[in-house]
């Protein structure tokens, strides 16, 4: 299975994708600077995402050393697995639609912080 980090670098990343990248980088535990470089984030972006992921209990701080180690929690692993499954489903749907008529049969619509699946009219 492809990792999240092997995506097209020219493609704009959404918030859920960036969260998945961070969780993937931190699977084995990693330093803050490594997360920043591997996920290609600015320091300000990194702090925002780390705070969010810690609050959601998808990421945890581990170790009693002077350097903070960030590690993906079991809840974070479930998020990552679900995210990959959804991306795979959407990819298959897009491929099926491109083979049929080139028009997608399902759209993702964002309203506020929620995302809905919607069929075309």
* Domains of the chain as residue ranges with CATH: 4-118 (1.10.10.10)
C-alpha distances (whole Å) from 86 to each of 41, 54, 108 are: 24, 23, 12
Query: How does pLDDT run across 18-46, given as a tens digit for each residue?
Result: 999 999 999 999 999 999 999 999 999 99
Rounded to whole angstroms, how far apart are CA atoms 73 and 58? 5
Task: Give the global pTM.
Answer: 0.71
3-state SS, residue 85: helix
pLDDT averages per 10-residue partition of the chain, 121 residues: 52 88 96 94 95 97 84 97 91 75 64 70 49
């Amino acid at each position: 299975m492809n990792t999240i980090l092997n995506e097209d670098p020219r493609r704009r990343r959404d918030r859920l994708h960036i969260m998945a990248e961070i969780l993937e980088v931190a699977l084995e535990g990693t330093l803050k600077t490594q997360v920043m470089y591997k996920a290609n984030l600015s320091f300000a972006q990194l702090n925002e995402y780390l705070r969010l992921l810690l609050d959601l209990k998808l990421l945890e701080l581990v170790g009693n050393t002077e350097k903070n180690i960030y590690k993906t929690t079991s809840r974070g692993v479930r998020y990552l697995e679900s995210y990959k499954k959804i991306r795979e489903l959407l990819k298959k749907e897009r491929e099926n639609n491109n083979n049929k008529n080139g028009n997608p049969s399902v759209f993702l619509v964002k309203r506020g912080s929620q995302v809905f699946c919607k069929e075309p009219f």
